[in-house]
Amino acid sequence: MTTDSTSPPPELKSEEKERQAHPFRSLKELLDHVSGKDLPPVKFEDSGRAEILPFPFLAIVGQDEMKLALILGLVNPNIGGILLVGPRGTAKTTAVRSLIDLLPMVERSTCHYGCMPADIEEGGIDAVCPDCAKKYGEGISLTNPSRVRLIELPLNAKLENVVGGIDERAAMQSKIRLKRGILAQADRNLLYIDEANLLSDEVIDAILDAAAQGSYTLRRGAASATYKSRFLLVGSMNPEEGHLRPQIMDRFGLRVVVRGLDNPKERLKAYKQVQAYLDAPHQIVAKYASGTTSIREELEATRARLSQVKLTNRVANKAIEIIQKLGIDSLRAEITWFEAARAYTAASGRNIVKLADLHAVAPMALRLRRSKFIDQYFAEQEGEEEELQSLVKPFKRKRRTPKKKK
Protein backbone atom coordinates (compact mmCIF):
# COMPACT_ATOMS: atom_id res chain seq x y z
CA MET A 1 0.00 0.00 0.00
CA THR A 2 1.51 3.31 -1.06
CA THR A 3 1.08 6.54 0.84
CA ASP A 4 0.95 9.97 -0.78
CA SER A 5 3.99 11.84 0.52
CA THR A 6 2.21 15.17 0.17
CA SER A 7 -0.66 14.25 2.54
CA PRO A 8 -0.12 14.53 6.32
CA PRO A 9 -0.36 11.48 8.60
CA PRO A 10 -3.84 10.63 9.98
CA GLU A 11 -2.98 11.98 13.45
CA LEU A 12 -1.98 15.34 11.95
CA LYS A 13 -5.18 15.39 9.93
CA SER A 14 -7.24 15.02 13.08
CA GLU A 15 -5.27 17.77 14.84
CA GLU A 16 -5.70 20.04 11.84
CA LYS A 17 -9.41 19.29 11.78
CA GLU A 18 -9.74 20.13 15.49
CA ARG A 19 -7.80 23.34 14.99
CA GLN A 20 -10.06 24.39 12.11
CA ALA A 21 -13.18 23.69 14.13
CA HIS A 22 -11.98 25.71 17.13
CA PRO A 23 -14.30 28.68 17.85
CA PHE A 24 -12.44 31.99 18.10
CA ARG A 25 -13.42 34.21 21.00
CA SER A 26 -11.14 37.11 20.04
CA LEU A 27 -8.97 38.47 17.24
CA LYS A 28 -5.87 37.39 19.20
CA GLU A 29 -7.04 33.76 19.19
CA LEU A 30 -7.59 33.95 15.44
CA LEU A 31 -4.05 35.27 14.88
CA ASP A 32 -2.61 32.63 17.22
CA HIS A 33 -4.46 29.94 15.26
CA VAL A 34 -3.09 31.20 11.95
CA SER A 35 0.46 31.23 13.35
CA GLY A 36 0.09 27.60 14.41
CA LYS A 37 -0.13 28.04 18.17
CA ASP A 38 -2.19 25.58 20.19
CA LEU A 39 -5.31 27.11 21.67
CA PRO A 40 -6.80 26.08 25.01
CA PRO A 41 -9.88 23.87 24.72
CA VAL A 42 -13.23 25.58 24.87
CA LYS A 43 -15.99 24.19 27.03
CA PHE A 44 -19.37 24.41 25.36
CA GLU A 45 -22.25 25.24 27.67
CA ASP A 46 -25.86 24.66 26.81
CA SER A 47 -27.53 28.08 26.98
CA GLY A 48 -30.98 26.51 26.92
CA ARG A 49 -31.98 28.56 23.87
CA ALA A 50 -33.60 26.66 21.05
CA GLU A 51 -32.53 27.16 17.46
CA ILE A 52 -35.28 28.39 15.14
CA LEU A 53 -35.29 25.85 12.34
CA PRO A 54 -38.81 25.63 10.90
CA PHE A 55 -40.10 22.65 8.97
CA PRO A 56 -39.60 23.38 5.23
CA PHE A 57 -42.70 24.63 3.41
CA LEU A 58 -41.96 22.35 0.47
CA ALA A 59 -41.74 19.31 2.76
CA ILE A 60 -45.42 19.59 3.78
CA VAL A 61 -47.38 16.75 2.18
CA GLY A 62 -50.76 17.52 0.58
CA GLN A 63 -52.90 20.39 1.93
CA ASP A 64 -52.70 22.19 -1.41
CA GLU A 65 -55.47 24.69 -0.69
CA MET A 66 -53.89 25.73 2.60
CA LYS A 67 -50.50 26.23 0.98
CA LEU A 68 -52.05 28.18 -1.89
CA ALA A 69 -53.93 30.48 0.50
CA LEU A 70 -50.76 31.26 2.47
CA ILE A 71 -48.80 31.97 -0.71
CA LEU A 72 -51.53 34.28 -2.03
CA GLY A 73 -51.49 36.12 1.29
CA LEU A 74 -47.76 36.74 0.96
CA VAL A 75 -48.26 38.03 -2.57
CA ASN A 76 -51.18 40.35 -1.83
CA PRO A 77 -51.87 41.41 1.80
CA ASN A 78 -55.02 43.23 0.56
CA ILE A 79 -56.71 39.82 0.61
CA GLY A 80 -57.45 40.63 4.22
CA GLY A 81 -56.11 37.76 6.28
CA ILE A 82 -56.34 33.97 6.25
CA LEU A 83 -58.20 31.64 8.59
CA LEU A 84 -57.29 27.95 8.80
CA VAL A 85 -60.13 25.82 10.20
CA GLY A 86 -59.56 22.17 11.01
CA PRO A 87 -58.92 19.50 13.63
CA ARG A 88 -55.71 19.05 15.57
CA GLY A 89 -52.67 17.57 13.86
CA THR A 90 -53.42 18.73 10.31
CA ALA A 91 -50.24 20.89 9.95
CA LYS A 92 -51.94 24.28 10.34
CA THR A 93 -49.36 25.75 12.72
CA THR A 94 -46.51 23.93 10.97
CA ALA A 95 -47.49 25.48 7.63
CA VAL A 96 -47.62 29.00 9.05
CA ARG A 97 -44.26 28.67 10.78
CA SER A 98 -42.72 27.26 7.61
CA LEU A 99 -43.34 30.61 5.92
CA ILE A 100 -40.39 32.13 7.79
CA ASP A 101 -37.99 31.25 4.98
CA LEU A 102 -40.35 32.67 2.33
CA LEU A 103 -41.05 36.07 3.88
CA PRO A 104 -39.97 39.10 1.81
CA MET A 105 -37.71 42.04 2.54
CA VAL A 106 -39.43 45.33 3.39
CA GLU A 107 -38.42 48.86 4.31
CA ARG A 108 -39.01 49.01 8.06
CA SER A 109 -39.32 52.17 10.12
CA THR A 110 -36.52 52.89 12.59
CA CYS A 111 -38.93 54.92 14.72
CA HIS A 112 -40.60 53.78 17.93
CA TYR A 113 -43.93 54.91 16.48
CA GLY A 114 -43.44 53.39 13.03
CA CYS A 115 -43.11 56.66 11.07
CA MET A 116 -42.54 56.18 7.33
CA PRO A 117 -41.63 58.56 4.48
CA ALA A 118 -45.00 57.76 2.89
CA ASP A 119 -46.70 59.34 5.92
CA ILE A 120 -45.03 62.66 5.11
CA GLU A 121 -45.88 62.37 1.42
CA GLU A 122 -49.56 61.77 2.23
CA GLY A 123 -50.13 63.97 5.30
CA GLY A 124 -47.26 66.41 5.43
CA ILE A 125 -44.48 66.79 7.98
CA ASP A 126 -46.96 66.86 10.88
CA ALA A 127 -47.93 63.25 10.11
CA VAL A 128 -44.75 61.96 11.77
CA CYS A 129 -43.22 62.41 15.21
CA PRO A 130 -40.87 65.40 15.89
CA ASP A 131 -37.75 63.22 15.84
CA CYS A 132 -38.59 61.78 12.41
CA ALA A 133 -39.55 65.22 11.11
CA LYS A 134 -36.09 66.47 12.10
CA LYS A 135 -34.37 63.44 10.49
CA TYR A 136 -36.38 63.90 7.31
CA GLY A 137 -35.35 67.55 7.12
CA GLU A 138 -31.71 66.58 7.55
CA GLY A 139 -31.93 63.97 4.81
CA ILE A 140 -31.53 61.02 7.21
CA SER A 141 -33.35 57.86 6.16
CA LEU A 142 -36.36 56.87 8.28
CA THR A 143 -36.22 53.21 7.26
CA ASN A 144 -33.92 50.23 7.02
CA PRO A 145 -34.35 47.10 4.87
CA SER A 146 -35.40 44.12 6.97
CA ARG A 147 -37.04 40.75 6.41
CA VAL A 148 -40.66 40.32 7.44
CA ARG A 149 -40.91 38.45 10.73
CA LEU A 150 -43.45 35.98 12.06
CA ILE A 151 -45.04 37.32 15.25
CA GLU A 152 -47.01 34.73 17.21
CA LEU A 153 -49.68 35.85 19.65
CA PRO A 154 -49.48 33.83 22.90
CA LEU A 155 -52.66 31.95 23.74
CA ASN A 156 -52.77 33.53 27.20
CA ALA A 157 -52.19 37.07 25.88
CA LYS A 158 -53.95 39.82 27.78
CA LEU A 159 -55.13 43.15 26.40
CA GLU A 160 -52.13 45.00 27.83
CA ASN A 161 -49.75 42.56 26.13
CA VAL A 162 -51.52 43.11 22.82
CA VAL A 163 -51.89 46.92 22.72
CA GLY A 164 -49.14 47.94 25.16
CA GLY A 165 -49.06 49.77 28.46
CA ILE A 166 -46.92 51.71 30.91
CA ASP A 167 -43.20 50.99 30.73
CA GLU A 168 -42.45 49.62 34.22
CA ARG A 169 -38.72 50.38 34.05
CA ALA A 170 -39.40 54.01 33.26
CA ALA A 171 -42.06 54.16 35.97
CA MET A 172 -39.50 53.04 38.56
CA GLN A 173 -37.52 56.16 37.66
CA SER A 174 -40.64 58.35 38.04
CA LYS A 175 -41.00 58.69 34.27
CA ILE A 176 -44.13 58.11 32.22
CA ARG A 177 -43.39 56.17 29.08
CA LEU A 178 -45.56 53.85 27.02
CA LYS A 179 -44.40 50.41 25.96
CA ARG A 180 -45.33 49.03 22.56
CA GLY A 181 -47.60 46.01 22.45
CA ILE A 182 -47.63 43.00 20.14
CA LEU A 183 -49.75 44.86 17.58
CA ALA A 184 -47.12 47.57 17.18
CA GLN A 185 -44.36 44.96 17.01
CA ALA A 186 -46.32 43.21 14.25
CA ASP A 187 -46.25 46.28 11.99
CA ARG A 188 -45.17 45.22 8.48
CA ASN A 189 -44.88 41.64 9.73
CA LEU A 190 -47.02 38.51 9.75
CA LEU A 191 -49.19 38.12 12.87
CA TYR A 192 -50.26 34.57 13.65
CA ILE A 193 -53.08 33.79 16.07
CA ASP A 194 -53.30 30.12 16.99
CA GLU A 195 -56.64 28.99 18.48
CA ALA A 196 -58.23 32.30 17.52
CA ASN A 197 -61.60 31.11 18.80
CA LEU A 198 -60.24 30.86 22.36
CA LEU A 199 -59.12 34.49 22.69
CA SER A 200 -61.12 36.89 24.84
CA ASP A 201 -63.51 39.27 23.08
CA GLU A 202 -61.58 42.38 24.09
CA VAL A 203 -58.31 41.00 22.71
CA ILE A 204 -59.73 39.85 19.38
CA ASP A 205 -61.65 43.14 18.98
CA ALA A 206 -58.44 45.13 19.51
CA ILE A 207 -56.61 43.01 16.94
CA LEU A 208 -59.34 43.32 14.32
CA ASP A 209 -59.71 47.09 14.79
CA ALA A 210 -55.95 47.60 14.48
CA ALA A 211 -55.81 45.39 11.39
CA ALA A 212 -58.68 47.27 9.74
CA GLN A 213 -57.33 50.76 10.50
CA GLY A 214 -53.62 50.03 10.06
CA SER A 215 -52.93 51.85 13.33
CA TYR A 216 -54.24 52.20 16.86
CA THR A 217 -54.02 54.69 19.71
CA LEU A 218 -52.89 53.68 23.19
CA ARG A 219 -53.96 55.88 26.12
CA ARG A 220 -52.82 55.40 29.69
CA GLY A 221 -53.64 58.35 31.91
CA ALA A 222 -52.12 61.52 30.53
CA ALA A 223 -49.87 59.62 28.13
CA SER A 224 -51.00 58.58 24.66
CA ALA A 225 -49.37 57.36 21.46
CA THR A 226 -50.51 56.16 18.05
CA TYR A 227 -48.73 53.11 16.63
CA LYS A 228 -48.74 51.62 13.14
CA SER A 229 -50.23 48.13 12.86
CA ARG A 230 -50.05 47.07 9.21
CA PHE A 231 -49.72 43.31 9.17
CA LEU A 232 -50.90 40.18 7.41
CA LEU A 233 -53.23 38.38 9.80
CA VAL A 234 -53.26 34.58 9.85
CA GLY A 235 -55.42 32.66 12.30
CA SER A 236 -56.14 29.02 12.98
CA MET A 237 -58.80 27.26 15.00
CA ASN A 238 -60.21 23.87 15.87
CA PRO A 239 -64.03 23.98 15.51
CA GLU A 240 -64.32 21.31 18.23
CA GLU A 241 -63.25 23.91 20.78
CA GLY A 242 -65.78 26.60 19.88
CA HIS A 243 -66.81 28.92 17.07
CA LEU A 244 -65.80 32.42 16.07
CA ARG A 245 -68.27 35.27 16.28
CA PRO A 246 -69.62 36.26 12.84
CA GLN A 247 -68.04 39.70 13.23
CA ILE A 248 -64.61 38.11 13.68
CA MET A 249 -65.10 35.52 10.95
CA ASP A 250 -65.97 38.26 8.45
CA ARG A 251 -62.61 39.97 9.01
CA PHE A 252 -60.68 36.98 7.67
CA GLY A 253 -60.53 37.12 3.88
CA LEU A 254 -59.66 33.56 2.89
CA ARG A 255 -61.13 30.63 4.83
CA VAL A 256 -59.44 27.25 4.41
CA VAL A 257 -61.02 24.06 5.72
CA VAL A 258 -58.06 21.84 6.61
CA ARG A 259 -58.84 18.14 6.76
CA GLY A 260 -56.67 15.10 7.41
CA LEU A 261 -54.94 13.37 4.51
CA ASP A 262 -57.23 10.80 2.84
CA ASN A 263 -54.58 9.08 0.76
CA PRO A 264 -52.71 6.36 2.75
CA LYS A 265 -49.57 6.93 0.67
CA GLU A 266 -49.60 10.64 1.55
CA ARG A 267 -50.05 9.87 5.25
CA LEU A 268 -47.05 7.53 5.15
CA LYS A 269 -44.99 10.10 3.27
CA ALA A 270 -45.95 12.77 5.82
CA TYR A 271 -44.80 10.50 8.65
CA LYS A 272 -41.45 9.87 6.94
CA GLN A 273 -40.94 13.61 6.40
CA VAL A 274 -41.60 14.33 10.07
CA GLN A 275 -39.35 11.47 11.17
CA ALA A 276 -36.52 12.76 8.97
CA TYR A 277 -36.96 16.26 10.38
CA LEU A 278 -36.89 15.05 13.99
CA ASP A 279 -33.80 12.89 13.39
CA ALA A 280 -31.78 15.42 11.38
CA PRO A 281 -33.51 18.81 10.97
CA HIS A 282 -30.52 20.48 9.30
CA GLN A 283 -30.37 17.79 6.63
CA ILE A 284 -34.02 18.06 5.61
CA VAL A 285 -33.81 21.87 5.62
CA ALA A 286 -30.73 21.65 3.38
CA LYS A 287 -32.56 19.18 1.11
CA TYR A 288 -35.24 21.78 0.33
CA ALA A 289 -33.00 24.87 0.53
CA SER A 290 -32.67 25.28 -3.23
CA GLY A 291 -36.40 24.98 -3.83
CA THR A 292 -37.13 27.37 -0.96
CA THR A 293 -34.82 29.97 -2.48
CA SER A 294 -36.52 29.57 -5.88
CA ILE A 295 -39.98 30.09 -4.37
CA ARG A 296 -38.81 33.17 -2.47
CA GLU A 297 -37.42 34.68 -5.68
CA GLU A 298 -40.62 33.84 -7.56
CA LEU A 299 -42.67 35.52 -4.85
CA GLU A 300 -40.57 38.67 -5.16
CA ALA A 301 -41.21 38.75 -8.92
CA THR A 302 -44.92 38.04 -8.41
CA ARG A 303 -45.30 40.91 -5.92
CA ALA A 304 -43.62 43.25 -8.39
CA ARG A 305 -46.03 42.13 -11.12
CA LEU A 306 -49.17 42.48 -8.97
CA SER A 307 -49.64 46.21 -9.61
CA GLN A 308 -49.96 45.52 -13.35
CA VAL A 309 -52.74 42.92 -12.97
CA LYS A 310 -56.17 44.20 -14.03
CA LEU A 311 -59.71 42.92 -13.54
CA THR A 312 -62.12 43.74 -16.39
CA ASN A 313 -65.70 44.84 -15.69
CA ARG A 314 -67.06 41.88 -17.66
CA VAL A 315 -65.31 39.35 -15.44
CA ALA A 316 -66.10 41.31 -12.27
CA ASN A 317 -69.82 41.53 -13.08
CA LYS A 318 -70.06 37.78 -13.64
CA ALA A 319 -68.44 37.20 -10.26
CA ILE A 320 -70.81 39.62 -8.52
CA GLU A 321 -73.77 37.75 -10.00
CA ILE A 322 -72.52 34.58 -8.32
CA ILE A 323 -72.11 36.39 -4.98
CA GLN A 324 -75.67 37.66 -5.17
CA LYS A 325 -77.02 34.22 -6.06
CA LEU A 326 -75.25 32.84 -3.00
CA GLY A 327 -77.01 35.42 -0.85
CA ILE A 328 -73.79 36.89 0.57
CA ASP A 329 -74.33 40.37 2.01
CA SER A 330 -70.81 41.37 3.07
CA LEU A 331 -68.91 43.45 0.52
CA ARG A 332 -65.72 41.89 1.83
CA ALA A 333 -66.59 38.81 -0.23
CA GLU A 334 -65.82 40.43 -3.59
CA ILE A 335 -62.88 42.39 -2.18
CA THR A 336 -61.24 39.18 -1.01
CA TRP A 337 -62.24 37.21 -4.10
CA PHE A 338 -60.97 39.80 -6.57
CA GLU A 339 -57.71 40.46 -4.72
CA ALA A 340 -57.02 36.74 -4.38
CA ALA A 341 -57.69 36.28 -8.10
CA ARG A 342 -55.29 39.13 -8.91
CA ALA A 343 -52.59 37.45 -6.80
CA TYR A 344 -53.28 34.11 -8.51
CA THR A 345 -53.05 35.78 -11.93
CA ALA A 346 -49.75 37.46 -11.04
CA ALA A 347 -48.36 34.14 -9.82
CA SER A 348 -49.36 32.63 -13.17
CA GLY A 349 -47.30 35.27 -15.01
CA ARG A 350 -50.27 37.11 -16.57
CA ASN A 351 -51.69 40.64 -16.27
CA ILE A 352 -55.42 40.08 -16.99
CA VAL A 353 -57.68 38.15 -14.60
CA LYS A 354 -59.66 35.37 -16.28
CA LEU A 355 -62.74 33.53 -15.09
CA ALA A 356 -60.52 30.50 -14.49
CA ASP A 357 -58.48 32.53 -11.99
CA LEU A 358 -61.64 33.44 -10.08
CA HIS A 359 -62.72 29.81 -10.16
CA ALA A 360 -59.40 28.67 -8.67
CA VAL A 361 -59.76 30.81 -5.54
CA ALA A 362 -63.56 30.95 -5.21
CA PRO A 363 -64.06 28.26 -2.52
CA MET A 364 -61.60 29.76 -0.04
CA ALA A 365 -62.88 33.30 -0.69
CA LEU A 366 -66.63 32.62 -0.49
CA ARG A 367 -67.14 29.77 1.97
CA LEU A 368 -68.49 30.36 5.50
CA ARG A 369 -69.97 33.74 4.57
CA ARG A 370 -73.70 33.04 4.58
CA SER A 371 -75.66 33.40 7.81
CA LYS A 372 -78.88 31.49 8.49
CA PHE A 373 -79.65 33.92 11.29
CA ILE A 374 -79.42 36.94 8.97
CA ASP A 375 -81.57 35.19 6.35
CA GLN A 376 -84.22 34.43 8.95
CA TYR A 377 -83.99 37.93 10.40
CA PHE A 378 -84.54 39.60 7.03
CA ALA A 379 -87.38 37.19 6.19
CA GLU A 380 -89.16 38.19 9.39
CA GLN A 381 -88.38 41.83 8.71
CA GLU A 382 -89.94 41.62 5.24
CA GLY A 383 -93.12 40.13 6.75
CA GLU A 384 -93.29 42.95 9.27
CA GLU A 385 -92.66 45.52 6.52
CA GLU A 386 -95.55 44.16 4.43
CA GLU A 387 -97.85 44.27 7.45
CA LEU A 388 -96.90 47.88 8.21
CA GLN A 389 -97.45 48.96 4.62
CA SER A 390 -100.89 47.37 4.52
CA LEU A 391 -101.93 49.11 7.76
CA VAL A 392 -100.75 52.59 6.80
CA LYS A 393 -101.99 52.38 3.23
CA PRO A 394 -105.44 53.92 4.05
CA PHE A 395 -103.65 57.00 5.38
CA LYS A 396 -102.01 57.64 2.07
CA ARG A 397 -103.50 60.75 0.49
CA LYS A 398 -104.91 60.37 -2.91
CA ARG A 399 -103.69 62.85 -5.45
CA ARG A 400 -106.32 65.28 -6.55
CA THR A 401 -106.65 65.64 -10.26
CA PRO A 402 -106.59 69.31 -11.18
CA LYS A 403 -109.80 70.67 -12.59
CA LYS A 404 -109.70 71.77 -16.16
CA LYS A 405 -110.30 75.43 -16.71
CA LYS A 406 -113.25 76.24 -18.80
Q: Which residues are catalytic?
A: 332
Sign (positive/negative) of CA torsion 95, 68, 155, 267?
Answer: negative
Instruction: Tell me the C-alpha distance between 348 and 357, whole Å.
Output: 9
CB 171 within 8 A of CB 213: no
Q: From 247, 313, 259, select the one nearest 89 (Cα to Cα).
A: 259
Q: At what angle do helices 64-75 and 332-347 cross, to 10 degrees?
A: 90
- SS3 per residue for the chain: CCCCCCCCCHHHHHHHHHHHHCCCCCHHHHHHHHCCCCCCCCCCCCCCCCCCCCCCHHHCCCCHHHHHHHHHHHHCHHHCCEEEECCCCCCHHHHHHHHHHHCCEEEEECCCCCCCHHHHHHHCHHHCCHHHHHHHHCCCCCEEEEECCEEEECCCCCHHHHHEEECHHHHHCCCCCEEECHHHHCCCCEEEECCHHHCCHHHHHHHHHHHHHCEEEEEECCEEEEEECCCEEEEEECHHHCCCCHHHHHHCCEEEECCCCCCHHHHHHHHHHHHHHHHCHHHHHHHCHHHHHHHHHHHHHHHHHHCCCECCHHHHHHHHHHHHHHCCCCCHHHHHHHHHHHHHHHHCCCCECCHHHHHHHHHHHHCCCCCHHHHHHHHHHHHHHHHHHHHHHHHCCCCCCCCCCC
CB 275 within 8 A of CB 268: no
Q: From 370, 369, 385, 306, select the one nearest 341 (Cα to Cα).
A: 306
Instruction: Tell me the C-alpha distance between 345 and 323, whole Å.
Output: 20
